[in-house]
Amino acid sequence: MTNHSRQTPPLRCLLSRRLLLPLTCLIPLVAAACGNLDERDTNPPSVDVLTRWDSSHVLALLTYKSEADVVDLASGRVTKKVKLDKYYNDIQALGGDRYVAVHNQTIDFVAADGTVEAGRSIAGHIFGGIAVSGDGTTLAYSDSAGPNQSSLTVLNLQDGMTHVLSAEAYNSLSNTLADGFALSYKGDLLAIAGGVIDVMGTNGPSPTTSTCAPTYPDHGSVGAPETVAFSPVTDELASGSLTGEVEFFAPVSASGCTSRLPIPTPDSSQNVQFVRYSPSGTTLAVVSSALSSTEKGVVVGSVTKIRLRDVATGALITELETYRWEQPAGQMVSYPPILTDLLWTDAGDGLVLSASEGPLQFWDLTTGALRWELSL
């Protein structure tokens, strides 16, 4: 994907669940530096979040728009537009045609037609998005009331009970984006990346905590785990770092954590943005992006790669080069598109990708080919 002249996009100030954002965009006291957070135009349109609609469609949440598009996976066509009550920073499927969506200080429970069925307000700001357990029973979100006043809240959607967990150790903000914490399939465990990975039980006000320490070579704080994901089948955990390492931890609990398989970086220029298990739990998608480089008079600002690894052995199954942004050398380098989300198909045979200022992509894993692209 090529863009030869572009200004810094407003997306850089979005309270996104995928991006490492400027600090001024994340602290309410100086939020004015990012401009008014009302609905606005983005040019070209961006998609910030992907979530499941049904087995053959995906719901794409548009950036700064109070609407989402339903996209057919087979054809890559928009089959429905869902009007929302407001523009949301994040939206996730709960099952049964219900969704949970967040906007700054509001959590809404939304029907498939966009109607808000129930809502709740919080005192601070949801600055890092949300995580939902695989069975749809538990919600976790990061809440910032200001500098050094962060917490992680776990909400049981069945009984309405909430537990506020201390987030003092994860207060660098970049470590509390939604892919920096994850819920287990049943929602009884919460994993948080912040230098090391802490695993907490979610069923009590004072949970037991275990620590998953990375075993790959120490790169200091830069090499610390930045993203975590639970297997949808077991309580196994996977992590990725900004220096490219991936590590699998044997099924964890709030009382113990053991490394099972560390995988060193294949390329020191590739930082892991996030990791996602396939629905069967047998394959891990590792999303990474390269640093800027110059090739034959062209500045390559970003190359996003997805490496699929066998969960049992760590072996590389395939590598996909997805988004590539470049511009002629000599021009002022502008921000490249960044991959914002990845969603596996239910059958585990395809990947849907979204990017800031980029089209949706569908990759067919049976052929390793790009099946379609769609600009919304």
Asked whether residue 56 is assigned to any structural domain, the reply reads yes
In terms of Cα–Cα distance, which of 210, 178, 174 is closest to 194? 174
Strand runs labelled E in 10-124: 47-54, 57-62, 67-72, 78-83, 90-95, 98-103, 106-111, 116-121
Q: For 295-308, how does the pLDDT look when each residue is reduced to its tens digit (9 = 90+)? A: 666 666 677 889 99
Enter the tokens of residue 181. Answer: 């914490």
Which structural domain range is residue 217 located in? 10-374
Task: Band the pLDDT of 318: cuts 50, 70, 90.
Answer: very high
3 part of a folded domain:
no
Whole-number Å distance between alpha carbons of 133 and 137: 6
Residue 361 placed within a domain: yes
Give how many domains the chain has, as a whole number.
1
pLDDT higher than threshold 50 for residue 371: yes
Residue 1 resides in a domain: no
The tally of CA atoms less than 13 A away on the side-chain side of residue 147 is 6
- Whole-model pTM: value is 0.83
Q: What percent of the chain has pLDDT over 90?
A: 43
Q: Are the beta carbons of 368 and 316 closer than 8 angstroms?
A: no
Confidence of residue 26 (pLDDT cuts 50, 70, 90): very low
In a domain, 329, yes or no: yes
Q: Is residue 5 part of a domain?
A: no
Q: What DSSP letter does each residue of 288-308 carry, written as one string?
A: EEPPPEEETTEEEEEEEEEEE
Residue 221 is assigned to a structural domain of this protein = yes
Closest among 249, 241, 247, 285 to 263, alpha carbons compared: 247
Mapped onto helix, strand or coil, the DSSP state of residue 40 is coil
Provide the CATH number for the domain around residue 60.
Answer: 2.130.10.10
What average pLDDT does the structure give for the chain?
78
β-strands 209-212, 358-364: how paired?
unpaired
pLDDT digit string, tens, across residues 123-144: 777 866 789 999 999 999 887 7
Decide if 4 is inside a domain: no
